């Protein structure tokens, strides 16, 4: 049986992970994005089932009790998780998968699937992260402070990833990620 192809990305909020993943999906259209489930409110630009599976907290908790999550976590007061049943459907037909997860979720996927490539996208500094979060204008000051505090924890876990990519310049970061993915795909059969 062919080895599963799993790419797992993590970064602090504002690290550029979503932008990099979009570029990777353009380059590797055979990969399918694993849609995470969440209890947070849908943003106007988001599509249910494409960006996230938006669930009521009680529905999410039912799925937790049914053990239908490979990983789940509360982040910034909201629940997020990766549905086991959805991932297994993709793996059963040999679909390579890209995950966009927090650090604990990413490391949980790595424990379940040691063959996965885990990439942590980092920022040059906490000051740069603050600047990016303020620039995008989506979070309140309190929310920005929570995200900055979580960054210190996230960064402390980055050494557990297969590679850390510094996103100081987007094009350079994308090139480095592409190289890691090409090496990963070439090294497995």
Q: Other C-beta atoms within 10 Å of 84: how many?
A: 16
Domain extent listing, the chain: 6-187
| Closest by Cα among 100, 94, 138, 130 to 22 | 100
Task: With H, G, I as helix, E, B as strand and everything else as coil, classify residue 31.
Answer: coil
CATH 1.20.210.10 fits 6-187, yes or no: no
Residues belonging to the chain: 189
Q: What digits encode the pLDDT tens for the residues 80-134? A: 999 999 999 999 999 999 999 989 999 999 999 999 999 999 999 999 999 998 9
Residue 188 in this model has a pLDDT that exceeds 80: no
* 6-54 residue pLDDT tens: 999 999 988 999 899 999 999 999 999 999 999 999 988 889 999 899 9
């Amino acid at each position: 049986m062919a080895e599963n192809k799993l790419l797992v990305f993590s970064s602090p909020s504002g690290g550029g992970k979503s932008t990099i993943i979009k570029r990777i999906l353009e380059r590797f259209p055979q990969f399918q994005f694993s849609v995470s489930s969440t209890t947070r409110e849908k943003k106007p630009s988001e599509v249910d089932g494409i960006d996230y599976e938006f669930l009521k907290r009680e529905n999410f908790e039912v799925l937790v009790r049914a053990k239908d999550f490979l990983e789940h976590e509360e982040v910034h007061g909201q629940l997020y998780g990766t549905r086991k049943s959805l991932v297994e459907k993709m793996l059963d037909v040999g679909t390579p998968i890209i995950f966009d997860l927090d650090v604990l979720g990413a490391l949980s996927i790595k424990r379940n699937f040691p063959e996965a490539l885990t990439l942590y996208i980092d920022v040059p500094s906490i000051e740069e992260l603050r600047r990016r979060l303020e620039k995008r204008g989506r979070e309140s000051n309190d929310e920005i402070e929570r995200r900055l505090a979580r960054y210190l924890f996230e960064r402390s876990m980055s050494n557990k990833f297969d590679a850390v990519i510094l996103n100081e310049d987007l094009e350079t970061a994308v090139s480095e990620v592409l190289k890691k993915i090409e090496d990963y795909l070439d090294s497995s059969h």
